[in-house]
Amino acid sequence: MAGTILITGGAGFIGSHLADELLAHGYRVRVLDDLTPQVHGGGERPEYLSSGVELLVGDVRDPDAVAKAVEGADAVVHLAARVGVGQSMYELAEYTAVNSLGTAVLLEALLHRPVERLLLASSMSVYGEGLYRAPDGSLVDGVERPREQLERGEWELDGLEPVPTPETKQPALASVYALTKYGQERLCLMFGSAYGIPTTALRLFNTYGPRQALSNPYTGVLAIFASRLLNGRPPLVFEDGRQRRDFVSVFDVARACRLALESDRAAGQVLNVGSGESVTVLEIAERLARILGVDIESEALGRWRAGDIRHCFADITRARELLGYEPQVDLEAGMRDLAEWLAGRTAVDRVDAATQELSSRGLL
């Protein structure tokens, strides 16, 4: 397809990279973004947002702003959302309003101004715990760690080996954020099916890279660790730091989004977008310190956070088959991209305040 692509939330980290990807492939790009202070500081147009992007400043919950944004758009990529597991557990109304109501307002606008494609950025958080294998070789779905186990400081699911998580795993919604992302998926896919708009939901795994909001303590863990290290402080790791995640470069995510927009086979599908590799959170912190040239050891808190899970990393077979998606940025190269961007930047370290906020509410 060609034409004008509207990206909601497109002035942010992932959206701005997607804008670059689309512009490079001949698309016109319009962005609707409220430039929320937690992400954008002073609320000005970000310096990294390409001059080729038409920026409309507005809230995705505002029907008038959304109607204006979708006018003349050929496709919509819906990224606008409040993100972060921890904060979602006490800002319930805000997360539900932006993520759930905002999506509904967008879809109502598309009733009157249909588009050729709709793409939603969902999240790996909808899985809760990832998929596991039992000693007898059988796959185990739907496991959770009881609160009593976590209070004893026993982090692992005994006798179970984590394996890559496919889209067929049943959702296990462990946080308000996860609940809203799954609701977005169902709303968009239901709407697309009912109104004949090819719709795809991409479950993004831990996305990292240049332009992450360094002073937002609820952003991706790599940006949080970078903020600590840049301020000469140790990264704080929940539990023992040996939980495994899938870290995927934002450049790979942007390409996956474009491929999904262009693929007829992606219509009606939910697809994982990750690196297909797993790494422990502690190893991520140690590698980032090394790449930044900082001799600071991470601090494993031995504490757990409400809504967190132990292991989850992506099976990307379906995205490979339907999109031709193949990760091109390995972790070492991706972290060097991040380190180069970090050079000379300042970050306000708000991690202690965020941690205290969670602790005071009994969520840590």
What are the C-alpha distances in Å from 82 to residues 33, 59, 346? 12, 12, 23
Residues of the chain below pLDDT 70:
1, 214-220, 307, 344-364
* pLDDT the model gives residue 215: 56
Per the prediction, the chain carries an average pLDDT of 91
Task: Tell me the residue ranges of DSSP E strands in 35-177.
Answer: 53-57, 75-78, 117-123, 131-133, 139-140, 161-163
* pLDDT the model gives residue 191: 98
Work out the angle at residue 55's Cα, subtended by the Cα atoms of residues 9 and 52, and round it to the nearest 5 degrees.
110
Domain 4-355, second-level architecture: 3-Layer(aba) Sandwich (3.40)
* pLDDT the model gives residue 361: 53
Tokens of 323: 């999109």
User: Which among 271, 152, 264 is positioned nearest to 201, based on CA atoms?
Assistant: 271
* pLDDT the model gives residue 364: 46
Residues 6+ positions from 86 with CB-CB distance below 8 Å:
218, 305, 306, 307, 354, 358, 363
The span from the first CA to the last CA of the chain, in angstroms, equals 47
Q: How far, in Å, CA of 356 to CA of 348, rounded? A: 16
Q: Match 């959304």 to its residue by tokens.
A: 66
314: phi > 0 → left, psi -120 to 50 → alpha, else beta; which?
Answer: beta
Work out the angle at residue 220's Cα, subtended by the Cα atoms of residues 256 and 363, and round it to the nearest 5 degrees.
130
* pLDDT the model gives residue 155: 96
Tokens of 56: 């409309």
Residues 6+ positions from 320 with CB-CB distance below 8 Å:
326
Q: How far, in Å, CA of 331 to CA of 283, rounded? A: 11
Q: How far, in Å, CA of 17 to CA of 209, rounded? A: 10
Which of helix, strand or coil describes residue 127?
helix
Q: How far, in Å, CA of 273 to CA of 338, rounded? A: 19
27, 132, 177, 325: the catalytic one is 177
Q: Any catalytic annotation for residue 195? A: no
